[in-house]
């Protein structure tokens, strides 16, 4: 039996998705959930890329235990020094060094030949080895690289001290059968390959990232590099949930491969990543989409009623769906909510619990039937919100088919100052956002996207609102859940602004 390592790159490659910008608190929350899911490696970021990424990697390295923490570095001393400085307090640190190896990348991007790339790669691995013996080397764009060059390169970096060799399909160019053969040849023709772990990192440009990852594992790869919900650069990465559930569900085919993750944590993690990134999961998304375990066809429904396995190859409970049977409502007390929090994997102090309990009772008084998803959305909204520089004090909206939509709003700004604004707009939400902008007095605020979705069914469902603002050159994602969609929209917009203000004030202190 061969253990397959799950290397999650949601916080590094996943955050490179267009329009995604996670706060340090959000990254730590995702890392904590990845730890509960028991992934083997968390790639926490690219420290040299920004001071915020450096601090985020450092924070995760200090606080997450029992998981290898990796940081990305280009094949140069400065990047490697920075990666180690961020990682050094990790229980199991890993430096992840990369350099491009395909003819097109070497010629146009690096402007280096094969000998120069090999020399740079070997020097970088040797340099990283002075810090740790846990070194991963990636040959960027490996799937479009010459195999003979890769055999020699991998042999040299293994001699230099690499403990993991990663073969990325960087632009999602590979076809499964071709990629499987590619991995097989690397295994057969690279000297000392048996001394290291062989990894793959597949992108989804042609929609085959998961398939390419699985065939690579079948042909001898030891590690799968994945991202939650398949997010990442361009069309994204192989999805953690798809690779993991394929290995678990089809263990008859992958009979010699073993994974040790807790799959019941998948859905909660998936929803958290979707909420923090503002990237809505498509309903028909494999494993975690809302329709993944839904049946509309009468024939299918009849079959599932008679025998679940006629149309369901996995149990919904295996990914954490409907796993919490505790019924919560307006008569539920503190003990019931505490039990829900504990069974769902949340740890909160008493002060935070009391805030949650007040919000929970308020929601229960408005909504007759509470779904666990309602409560989880409420909890995530409270636990992971940023510090409030702008606080909503009053909101009044008038609208109608013969009325000019108008919003009047009062916002506490900073410690004491309360400001008021009234604006009209094309609709009530437009009026609200204009009023907030008038108070915020920040230039160059652009609304990139605004989404609202019911957490569950029914007219009394919580409205989950996501707002993306571009302020200057950066993007900020705001989120809120409320039964009143105008209030949810207001709080989501303020949440995005508060993330901006937090970063602005932190920068001013430095």
> Residue ranges for the binding site?
13, 201, 203, 237
In sequence order, what E strands does 58-208 have? 68-74, 93-100, 135-140, 164-169, 197-202
**CB hemisphere CA count around 8 (13 angstroms):** 31
Helices (H) and strands (E) in the chain — how many of each? 16, 16
Do residues 221 and 190 touch, judged by C-beta distance below 8 A?
no
CA distances from 510 to 253, 472, 500 (A): 55, 19, 16
Q: Report the alpha-carbon distance of residue 11 to residue 31 in Å, rounded.
A: 8
Q: What residues are designated binding site for Mn(2+)? A: 13, 201, 203, 237
SS3 state of residue 214: helix
Buried b (16+ CB within 10 A) or exposed e, 392-430: beebebebeeeeebbbbbbbbeeeeeeeebebbbeebbb
* Residue 397: strand pairing partners: 407
SS3 state of residue 478: strand
Do residues 102 and 165 touch, judged by C-beta distance below 8 A?
no
């Amino acid at each position: 039996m061969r253990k397959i390592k799950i290397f999650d790159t949601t916080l590094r490659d996943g955050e490179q998705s267009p329009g995604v910008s996670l706060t340090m608190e959000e990254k730590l929350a995702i890392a904590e959930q990845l730890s509960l899911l028991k992934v083997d490696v968390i790639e926490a970021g690219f420290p040299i890329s920004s001071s915020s990424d450096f601090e985020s990697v450092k924070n995760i390295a200090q606080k997450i235990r029992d998981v290898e923490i990796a940081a990305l570095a280009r094949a140069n001393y400065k990047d490697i020094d920075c990666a180690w400085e961020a990682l050094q307090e990790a229980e199991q640190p890993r430096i992840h060094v990369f350099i491009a190896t395909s003819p097109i990348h070497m010629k146009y991007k690096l402007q280096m030949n094969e000998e120069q790339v090999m020399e740079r790669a070997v020097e970088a691995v040797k340099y990283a080895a002075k810090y740790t013996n846990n070194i991963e080397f990636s040959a960027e764009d490996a799937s479009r690289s010459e195999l003979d060059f890769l055999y020699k390169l991998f042999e040299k970096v293994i001699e230099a001290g690499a403990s993991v060799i990663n073969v990325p399909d960087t632009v999602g160019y590979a076809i499964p059968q071709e990629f499987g053969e590619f991995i097989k040849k690397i295994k057969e023709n690279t000297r000392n390959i048996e001394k290291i772990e062989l990894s793959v990192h597949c992108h989804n440009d042609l929609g085959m990232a998961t398939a390419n990852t699985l065939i690579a594992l079948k042909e001898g790869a030891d590690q799968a590099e994945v991202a939650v919900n398949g997010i990442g650069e361009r069309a994204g990465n192989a999805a953690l949930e798809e690779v993991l559930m394929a290995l678990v569900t089809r263990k008859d085919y992958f009979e010699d491969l073993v994974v040790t993750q807790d799959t019941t944590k998948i859905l909660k993690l998936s929803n958290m990543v979707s909420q923090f990134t503002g990237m809505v999961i498509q309903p028909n998304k494999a494993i975690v989409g809302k329709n993944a375990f839904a049946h509309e066809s009468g024939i299918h429904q009849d079959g599932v009623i008679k025998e679940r396995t006629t149309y369901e190859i996995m149990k919904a409970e295996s990914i954490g769906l409907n796993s919490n049977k505790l019924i919560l409502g307006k008569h539920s007390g503190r003990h019931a909510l505490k039990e829900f929090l504990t069974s769902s994997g949340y740890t909160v102090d008493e002060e935070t619990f009391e805030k949650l309990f007040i919000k929970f009772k308020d929601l229960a008084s408005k909504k007759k039937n509470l779904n666990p998803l309602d409560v989880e959305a409420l909890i995530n909204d409270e636990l992971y919100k940023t510090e409030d520089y702008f606080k909503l004090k009053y909101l009044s909206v008038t609208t109608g088919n013969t009325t000019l939509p108008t919003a009047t709003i009062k916002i506490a700004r900073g410690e004491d100052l309360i400001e008021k604004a009234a604006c009209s707009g094309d609709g009530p939400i437009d009026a609200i956002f204009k009023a907030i902008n008038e108070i915020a007095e920040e230039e160059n605020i652009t609304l990139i996207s605004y989404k609202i979705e019911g957490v569950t069914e029914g007219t009394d469902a919580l409205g989950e609102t996501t707002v993306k603002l571009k302020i200057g050159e950066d993007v900020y994602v705001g989120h809120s859940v409320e039964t009143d969609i105008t209030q949810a929209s207001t709080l989501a917009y303020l949440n995005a602004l508060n993330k901006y203000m937090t970063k602005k004030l932190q920068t001013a202190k430095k």
